[in-house]
């Protein structure tokens, strides 16, 4: 009798940073951060199947996703996440990972991190490893600074270099509505390490306690106008100066009527908060078809789920 193959599918949501404060430089070369991060309803689809005797990875992409930017398997965070679970926690030897990419690669939207988060959460379930959320976050932090936030799901405050995350909306609270957002990508690549290197030429830090406080209350109340006023990214001035395409795209979104416009993470994607879906569509029409953009919504209380089995 042949074994039944089960494929689990995980929607790996992208993220945007609504605020990103740089609080210090650490001895290990990383920066001490405080960042309010929220997933959005733009997600890669990760299918996980237990089969074969090694880790197999395929990546396909929606139009607008430049697959030439995908590195080797060994560099791929999803692949590395599966390997980490095998080495440390005895996940199955044969794992097929099929990724459908919808999130632009290297765009400051956490696409690679989201894929790794999905593999950690999905394999934990499919292989019956029984690892706690905290253990998964620790494993995720070894692979990349954004991964713990994406494992946690929902709007979070991220501190340290990203390894500490706390939910903004405590469990059991009434759901709040997300913000409509247009995300656009100028089609260039910004290295995260470079963005951090150039962020603070004068050594000055970018603590913004007001922005931090206000963004949290805006998320809790669902008030997009106060959220727009509170947006802040300490990496933005350096990235805008070094990569003028990002600054020009932000200007276009602003001129087109974005309520608040910000570089996402280390870029190159830029996002605009908008009033509603029709405002967002109008903004996208204004941008034209030459620039990749998407209208989506933040998921303030979203949780990552592994669905399945979809095919017994």
Closest CB to ligand C5P among residues 157, 253: 157
Strands 232-233 and 7-25, how do they pair?
A: parallel
144 lines the binding site for ligand C5P (CB under 6 A): yes
Give least dist CB 28 to ligand C5P, A.
9
Closest CB to ligand C5P among residues 77, 123: 77
Residues 146-185 binding ligand C5P (CB under 6 A) are 146, 161-162
- Residues near ligand C5P (CB under 6 A), total: 11
Q: Is 146 a catalytic residue?
A: yes
Cis peptide before 137 (omega within 30 of 0): no
140 lines the binding site for ligand C5P (CB under 6 A): no
The stretch near ligand C5P (CB under 6 A) out of 138-146, 220-228, 231-239, 241-249 is 138-146
Distance CA 229, CA 262 (A): 11
Backbone torsions φ then ψ of 93, nearest 5 degrees: -70, -40
Closest CB to ligand C5P among residues 103, 176: 103
Backbone torsions φ then ψ of 15, nearest 5 degrees: -130, 155
196 lines the binding site for ligand C5P (CB under 6 A): yes
Neighbours of 66 (CB within 10 A): 16
Neighbours of 245 (CB within 10 A): 17
Give least dist CB 200 to ligand C5P, A.
10
Closest CB to ligand C5P among residues 80, 252: 80
33 lines the binding site for ligand C5P (CB under 6 A): yes
Closest CB to ligand C5P among residues 175, 204: 204
Strands 7-25 and 306-307, how do they pair?
A: antiparallel
The stretch near ligand C5P (CB under 6 A) out of 57-65, 140-148, 176-184, 288-296 is 140-148
Alpha-carbon distance values, 6 to 92, 122, 123, 126, 215 (Å): 13, 12, 12, 9, 41
Exactly one of 44, 101, 115, 146 is catalytic; name it. 146
**What length is written for the chain?**
312
Q: Strand order of the sheet with strand 260-263? A: 260-263, 270-274, 180-185, 292-297
Give least dist CB 140 to ligand C5P, A.
10
CA 188 from centroid of its chain's CA atoms: 18
Q: Choose, by CB under 6 A, the member of 9, 11, 31, 270 that binds ligand C5P.
A: 31
Angle between helical axes of 277-287 and 244-255 (0-180°, round to 10): 130
Q: Is 210 a catalytic residue?
A: no
Residues designated as active site: 15, 146
Q: Which residues bind ligand C5P (CB under 6 A)?
A: 30-31, 33, 144-146, 161-162, 192-193, 196
């Amino acid at each position: 009798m042949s074994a039944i193959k089960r494929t689990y599918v995980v929607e790996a949501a992208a993220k945007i940073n609504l605020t990103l404060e740089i609080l210090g430089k650490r001895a290990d070369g990383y920066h001490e951060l405080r960042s309010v991060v929220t997933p959005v309803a733009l997600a890669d689809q990760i299918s996980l199947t237990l089969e074969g005797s090694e880790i197999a990875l395929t990546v396909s992409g929606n139009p607008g996703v430049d697959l030439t930017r995908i590195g080797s398997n060994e560099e791929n965070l999803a692949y590395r996440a599966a390997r980490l679970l095998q080495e440390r926690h005895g996940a199955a030897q044969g794992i097929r990972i099929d990724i459908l990419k919808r999130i632009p690669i290297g765009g400051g939207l956490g696409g690679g991190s989201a894929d790794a988060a999905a593999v950690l959460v999905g394999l934990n379930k499919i292989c019956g490893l029984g690892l706690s959320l905290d253990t998964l976050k620790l494993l995720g932090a070894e692979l990349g600074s954004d991964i713990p936030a994406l494992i946690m799901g929902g709007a979070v405050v991220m501190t340290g270099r990203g390894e500490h995350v706390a939910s903004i909306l405590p469990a059991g609270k009434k759901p709040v509505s997300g913000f409509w957002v247009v995300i656009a990508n100028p089609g260039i690549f910004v290295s995260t390490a470079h963005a951090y290197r150039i962020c603070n030429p004068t050594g000055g830090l970018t603590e913004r306690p007001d922005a931090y406080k206000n963004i949290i209350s805006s998320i809790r109340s669902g008030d997009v106008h106060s959220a727009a006023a509170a947006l802040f990214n300490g990496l933005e001035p350096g990235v805008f100066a070094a990569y003028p395409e990002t600054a020009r795209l932000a200007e276009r979104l602003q001129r087109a009527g974005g309520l608040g416009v910000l570089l996402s993470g280390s870029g190159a994607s830029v996002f605009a908060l908008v009033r509603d879906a029709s405002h967002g569509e109008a903004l996208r029409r204004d941008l034209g078809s030459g620039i990749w953009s998407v209208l989506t919504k933040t998921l303030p209380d979203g949780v990552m789920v592994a669905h399945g089995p979809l095919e017994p």
